[in-house]
Chain A
Amino acid sequence: MIDFLRGYEDYLGGWLWEMGIASLATLQLMFVSFWLACAIGMVAALIPMARIKALNLLVKLYIGFFRGVPVLVILYWIYFALPEMGYEVLVVSSYTAAILGLGIHGGAFLAEIFRSGIESLHKGQMEAALSLGMTPAKAMAYIVLPQAIRVVLPPIANFAVGLLKETALCSIIAAPELMLRAKDLASSSFLPMHAFVMAAVFYYIMSFPLMRAVEYLEVKMGKGLRTG
């Protein structure tokens, strides 16, 4: 064990700094993808409200496809396939490809979370709101959605943790984040074990607060909304 730690002697300072910066890049990547996924997910969840059959089908296909396919395939497709097939116009940087891939893929998961959150609400809530003379739109805005948001917060926080871990995959398409940096440092120092263990520590530090937030939210929301 001590021998192992000794391996860090020459590298500790430099690595801490480099991995620290890379961690910030990871957090940024996760942050931006998260909001993209939220936006897409919210749209996909609310479209069925319009009751247009064609759109409903499209949304169903979108959710079904992206939830059944690994995010890596999507990343490959955006970053490798598009330029290789000659679509020069659609070539994006690895960072952009990462955001698009994580966002579009994640949007399907969030759409499912939003959808079941709204559905989980007791039908009586909608009926009570409509009986008071609210239009469906108003009932949604003032009664259903405020409650649905509380219900979906824990799974969304959980999704965020997953997203953070998925950023590591973006190293495969050379997006600037922690895992890529760890691979570099591993190969340049010939100390893969040390490099990756340290990277793991950084990831754990980043995900720790989020995981505790998930636990807190699960407890808090679990107590929440009981009606008569």
Chain B
Amino acid sequence: MKPLLRIVDLHKSFGTLEVLAGISIDVERGEKLSIIGPSGSGKTTLLRCINYLEKPTAGRIYVDDKLIGEKQVNGKFVHLSDRELAKERAEIGFVFQRFNLFPHLTALDNVSVAPRRVLGLEKRDAEERALAMLEKVGLAHKAGEYPERLSGGQQQRVAIARVLVMQPKLILLDEATSALDPELIGEVLKVIRELAEEGRTMIMVTHEIPFAEEISDRVIFMDDGKIVEEGPPHEIFANPTHQRTREFLRQIIDR
């Protein structure tokens, strides 16, 4: 079976600072991958490169065996513009650390805006689907509320519904619970857990170690822009091979 996502030797530099120093990963359909590591290790940048919010300096990304983000012009590879990237991005879901809900739209509108304006659905159909997704994350009763009246946990769940309604092939979660107050983290993790159980393909950058251990098929530890170690959760968390992995886990778990 061909992997759903294939990243080949990805490099990303911001000016002279190299943030990704050659990352290669294959992600199978239905696989749940967690990426852990210290801040500055490049985990978020890696995620943002996959949906081309950051443009890689070198390397290639393939979704379903198709090269994304670039096209060939006269034999050379050239990055696609935001307009051209839109189609590819619609198939990848991105959950932001700071939710990024649209404050001028209600929860229902937030979830239905993309089906209407990107997929071209009729208002009624879009809203039906949106309501179904809000139901799924347990917030159908808040459909008419504006984001400023929702708690952080509720906002993030709406953000997840907004992603789900587009039926993405792949879901990227960038520290989805890091910006939440502790008592609100649980409700979001519950939703993510359900998504995992449904067999969706997910890549999560996270600090929630026990959660990552529970739902991941594979864990990757990154540091300094490189993959230091990868393997099944119980191996990485219980018995890490590398010194750096051990140090990092010790710091995190001692929290």
Contacts and interface: CB of A to CB of B under 8 A. Distances in A.
A–B contact with Cβ pairs below 8 Å: the answer is yes
Interface in A85-134: 122, 124-125, 127-134
Interface in B67-107: 82-83, 85-87, 89-94, 96, 98-104
Contact of A133 (B87, B148, B155): B87
Contact of A150 (B104, B117, B155, B156): B104
Given A227-B148, A228-B152, A135 B86 contact: yes
Given A124-B96, A127-B53, A134-B118, A143 B86 contact: no
A130 B100 contact: no
Interface string A206-228: 00000000000000000011111
A228 B90 contact: no
A137 B83 CA distance: 8
A143 B114 CA distance: 11
Interface centre among A132, A137, A150 (most CB of B within 10 A): A132
A138 B118 contact: yes
B225 interface: no
B173 interface: no
- Would you call the interface of chain A mostly helix, strand, loop, or mixed? helix
A79 B86 CA distance: 50
A146 interface: yes
Interface string A60-102: 0000000000000000000000000000000000000000000
B99 A228 contact: yes
Given A124-B98, A127-B53, A137-B83, A132 B162 contact: yes
B130 to A, nearest CB: 12
A147 B103 contact: yes
B102 to A, nearest CB: 6
Interface residues of B, number: 36
A9 B134 CA distance: 72
Interface string B99-123: 1111110000000011001100000
Interface string A197-210: 00000000000000
Contacts of B85: 130
B179 interface: yes
Contacts of A132: 89-90, 113-114, 118, 162-163, 166
Contacts of A135: 82-83, 86
A153 B166 CA distance: 34
Interface centre among A131, A147, A225, A227 (most CB of B within 10 A): A131
A130 B114 CA distance: 10
Given A146-B104, A150-B104, A131 B51 contact: yes
Contacts of B83: 135-137
Contacts of A124: 96, 98, 100
Contacts of B155: 227-228
B147 interface: yes
A8 interface: no
B221 to A, nearest CB: 26
A131 B92 CA distance: 8
A128 B162 CA distance: 10
A133 B100 contact: no
A225 B104 contact: yes
B52 to A, nearest CB: 9
Given A133-B114, A138-B118, A226-B148, A143 B102 contact: yes
B100 A127 contact: yes
Contacts of B113: 132, 142-143
A226 B166 contact: no
Contacts of B53: 127, 130-131
B179 A228 contact: yes
Contact of A227 (B51, B89, B90, B101): B101
Given A125-B102, A228-B147, A133 B90 contact: yes
Given A128-B96, A130-B86, A228-B155, 9 more contacts: A124-B96, A127-B96, A127-B100, A128-B94, A133-B86, A143-B102, A147-B104, A227-B102, A228-B156
19 contacts: A127-B53, A127-B100, A128-B159, A131-B92, A131-B93, A132-B90, A132-B162, A134-B117, A136-B83, A137-B83, A138-B86, A138-B117, A146-B104, A147-B104, A226-B103, A227-B99, A227-B155, A228-B99, A228-B156
Interface of A: 122, 124-125, 127-138, 142-143, 146-147, 150, 224-228
5 closest A-B pairs by beta carbon, nearest first, are A133-B90, A128-B100, A124-B100, A132-B114, A131-B94
